[in-house]
Structures are given as structure tokens and as C-alpha cells.
Amino acid sequence: MCERCASNASPSRRSFLGVGAGLALAGGLAGPAMAQGVTTTPTPLSGEAALKRLMAGNARYAANKPNERDFSAGRAARARSQHPFASIVSCADSRLAPELAFDQSAGDLFVVRLAGNFVNEDGLASLEFGAAVLQSPLILVLGHTSCGAIASTIDVVKNGTQLPGHLPSLVNAIKPAVLEAQKAGAANVLEAATEANVRLNVERLKNAAPILAQRIADKKLTVVGGIYELATGKVKLI
């Protein structure tokens, strides 16, 4: 429509055009499935059902009995749209791969990864996208044992170690968890800080207005935390 025609459109017409533009934007972000007439969207899961599916997959992985998959199958469908049933906030540690740890296939998980598995503004925006646009009903903040980012933060807090580059910004994000573990007098500060870091970020997500907090209030989103044990592959919910 030309600019002049749009300006002369009736209020109802302009409203319809605005809604259409919004749907087009959401469709473009989530994938062009609607435009191509694809109707393969899976039945939505509740947050509790999504968590059960994750943990069942982790049990298979830890037992070394993962499902066999043909990764070439479904690529064409995934090129049209994505329907992840869970979002994961994971550490960037190379020893932890969420799709493997939960025995899930491509397209099942919407993953935000960075050292220390904390939520910054960019990560929050990604998770809002996962919840509001992709309709993911679950967010799991996943820490892990022997986390180098948390160990480095403990070193900075205890010994005043100076880190190069942009590493201090990472330390500043994790520091509240270390201070909480120290204040509690934890015998194992690394373990306690790892769990505190998960809990603090779970609470941040639960209170993240306007999108996530509202979806939680509407019972459309569940946010939980867990710790991945590097030696066993098991995830413990906390």
C-alpha cells in the first residue's frame, strides 16, 4: 500500500494493518511457517510437563542410554519454524552441552550460554523472545560443578586478583553469589556460590517485568534452577 493510501485508510483499517504488521514481525522472528501454511506446531506443554521431559532425558543421558536419532530427518521442517519446549540458561563451559545432557534433538531447546550462567540484559531479551514469541513454557537456569567462572570470582573476592580485558564485568555479575556463600559461612564456597548463583538468577527471571513476570502470573511460564554434575552427567534441581 502506498503512503497516501495508508494515511487515508479508516481507523479500523489502520488498526488491522498494525496488527498484521505485528503478526508478520512475530512470524518472521519465529519462522515463516504460518506464511507457508505449515500446521505442524506441537501441542503446547505445561512448565511442569516440560520439566519432566527434560529430567527424563537427563536420566537417559546419565545412564548412557540416549534415544537414537536421525539428525537429517526433520531439517526441512525446522527450516520453516521452531518450537522449543524449554529454554536453558547454561554456562559456556565446553564440558556441558544442554542438548546432550537432556538427550534432546535439534529444535527442542532454546539455549542462552555464557560463562557463569548468569542473566544479563541481552540474555534476558533472548529469554523473553523464547517465552513470548516461541511460547516456551519453561526456563531452567543450569549451573555446574567446578565452574571456572565462579572459581575465578572467588579468587577475585578473596585475594583481590586483577583480571584482564572484559573479565571484570563477568566477575561483577557473579560476585553477589560469592558474597552470599561467604556470608553463610559455607564450608565449600565454590559449591555454595554455584548454587547461590543459580538461585539469584532464577529470582531475577521470576521478577523480570513486563514479559516473564506476567507469563508466570498467567501460569504460562515456569522458572527453575539446577546443577549439572560434570562427573556423572546428572542434573540436580535446586
Is the pLDDT reported for residue 57 higher than 90? yes
- Indicate whether 209 belongs to any domain: yes
Q: What is the pLDDT of residue 11?
A: 41
CATH of the domain at 131: 3.40.1050.10
Give the residue-averaged pLDDT of 192-219.
98
Going by pLDDT thresholds of 50, 70 and 90, the confidence category of residue 41 is low
**Residue 200 grid cell:** 539469584
Q: Tell me the HSE value of 230 on the side-chain side, using a 13 A CA sphere.
A: 12
Neighbours of 85 (CB within 10 A): 23
Please say whether the beta carbons of 195 and 238 come within 8 A.
Answer: yes
Average pLDDT over the chain, rounded to an integer: 87
- Indicate whether 153 belongs to any domain: yes
Going by pLDDT thresholds of 50, 70 and 90, the confidence category of residue 44 is confident
- Indicate whether 129 belongs to any domain: yes
Do 11 and 108 share a domain, yes or no?
no
Please say whether the beta carbons of 157 and 105 come within 8 A.
Answer: no
Q: What is the pLDDT of residue 45?
A: 93
The separation between CA 223 and the C-alpha centre of its own chain, rounded to angstroms, equals: 10
Do 22 and 114 share a domain, yes or no?
no
Do 22 and 133 share a domain, yes or no?
no
Q: Tell me the HSE value of 137 on the side-chain side, using a 13 A CA sphere.
A: 17
Neighbours of 213 (CB within 10 A): 15
Q: CA 13, 14, 17 angle in degrees (round to 5)?
A: 90
Is the pLDDT reported for residue 30 higher than 60? no
Do 86 and 11 share a domain, yes or no?
no
Do 45 and 26 share a domain, yes or no?
no
- Indicate whether 6 belongs to any domain: yes
Do 113 and 5 share a domain, yes or no?
no
Do 6 and 112 share a domain, yes or no?
no
Going by pLDDT thresholds of 50, 70 and 90, the confidence category of residue 18 is very low
Q: What is the pLDDT of residue 14?
A: 37
Cβ neighbors of 38 (< 8 A, separation 6 or more) are 77, 80, 81
Cβ neighbors of 221 (< 8 A, separation 6 or more) are 47, 131, 136, 137, 138, 139, 212, 215
Q: What is the pLDDT of residues 96-152, one digit of tens each?
A: 999 999 999 999 999 999 999 999 999 999 999 999 999 999 999 999 999 999 999
Do 7 and 70 share a domain, yes or no?
no
Give the residue-averaged pLDDT of 163-168.
97
Q: What is the pLDDT of residue 3?
A: 43
Give the residue-averaged pLDDT of 202-210.
98
- Indicate whether 90 belongs to any domain: yes
**C-alpha distance from residue 146 to each of 102, 153, 165 (Å):** 19, 12, 23
Nearest to 139 by CA among 220, 194, 231: 220
- Indicate whether 203 belongs to any domain: yes
Give the residue-averaged pLDDT of 225-232.
98
- Indicate whether 35 belongs to any domain: no
Q: What is the pLDDT of residue 69?
A: 86
Do 8 and 119 share a domain, yes or no?
no
Q: How many structural domains is the chain composed of?
A: 2
Give percent helix, percent strand, percent coil of the chain, each to the nearest 5. 50, 10, 40
- Indicate whether 196 belongs to any domain: yes
Do 204 and 185 share a domain, yes or no?
yes
Cβ neighbors of 60 (< 8 A, separation 6 or more) are 66, 67, 103
Query: pTM value?
Result: 0.83
Do 20 and 103 share a domain, yes or no?
no
- Portion of the chain with pLDDT greater than 90, in percent: 78
Neighbours of 95 (CB within 10 A): 12
Do 9 and 78 share a domain, yes or no?
no
Is the pLDDT reported for residue 216 higher than 50? yes
Q: Is the peptide bond before 168 cis (omega within 30 degrees of 0)?
A: no
- Domain limits for position 128: 41-237
Give the residue-averaged pLDDT of 40-65.
91
